[in-house]
Structure 1
């Protein structure tokens, strides 16, 4: 069975971004909303079964960035990624600042 996790780091502060809302959209259009924990991590997706296909994670970063930095160029960041095969773990991290972001496939 495939699994999915995410981690959001505020690279300006050098700390995890806690209480950020994430929305996962599956290939069939189903969506589930979750929130990063105190360590900026999220892996609670309800009863979603991760089969092959293209998924999207929307990170609602504006509220977090305004609260911690007073500015946010990005109201949200969308990351599309593809799950292929079975029995793999997918990790989609986001590094964010008020004026930039980066992502990569984590482990």
Structure 2
């Protein structure tokens, strides 16, 4: 299984290249839902010129993608409401590639799973 993401800047319609993104895996606490447990860093990187990060390995677990949106907007001289965007999701199908895009603006964002 693998995971990819792409960040698009909704103010310009262009890819958000150079944004820092980290991938965290849930460390479930017995008796609690996985998302309520602690998190451990799996890997981190920056989006490429197409706003993408490709092929991070994942397993059947609960993960978080943390997008450093605040610093990215600050580098462009724009204030932002969200200093980071955290997307928590469950990988449930071992045979499927997961692509989780982020459409980001300084005051709004949306995400979805693309197949």
> Do the two structures share a fold, i.e. TM-score over 0.5?
yes
1:25 corresponds in structure 2 to 24
> 1:63: how far off?
1.4
C-alpha separation in 2, matches of 1:7 and 1:71: 22
Larger radius of gyration: 2
Match of 2:67 among 59, 62, 78: 59
- Runs of at least 5 residues in structure 2 that lack an aligned partner in the other structure: 28-39
Q: After TM superposition, list the pairs within 5 Å mapping 1:2-81 onto structure 2.
A: 2-28=1-27, 29-43=40-54, 45=56, 48=57, 50-81=58-89
Matched, 1:95 2:100: no
The DSSP-based 3-state class of the residue aligned with 2:26 is coil
Q: What do the CA deviations read for 1:11-62 (whole angstroms, capped 9, x no partner)?
A: 11110000000010123424211110000000253xx4x2111100000011
Is contact 2:22-2:41 (8 Å) kept? Answer: no
TM-score in terms of structure 2 length = 0.83
How far, CA to CA, are the matches of 2:2 and 2:20 in structure 1? 19
Deviation digits for residues 43-94 of structure 1, max 9, x if unmatched? 253xx4x211110000001111122252111100000000012121000100
What is the number of equivalent residue pairs in this alignment? Answer: 103
Q: What TM-score results when the alignment is normalised by the length of structure 1?
A: 0.89
Write out the 4+ residue segments of structure 1 that deviate beyond 6 Å after TM superposition: none
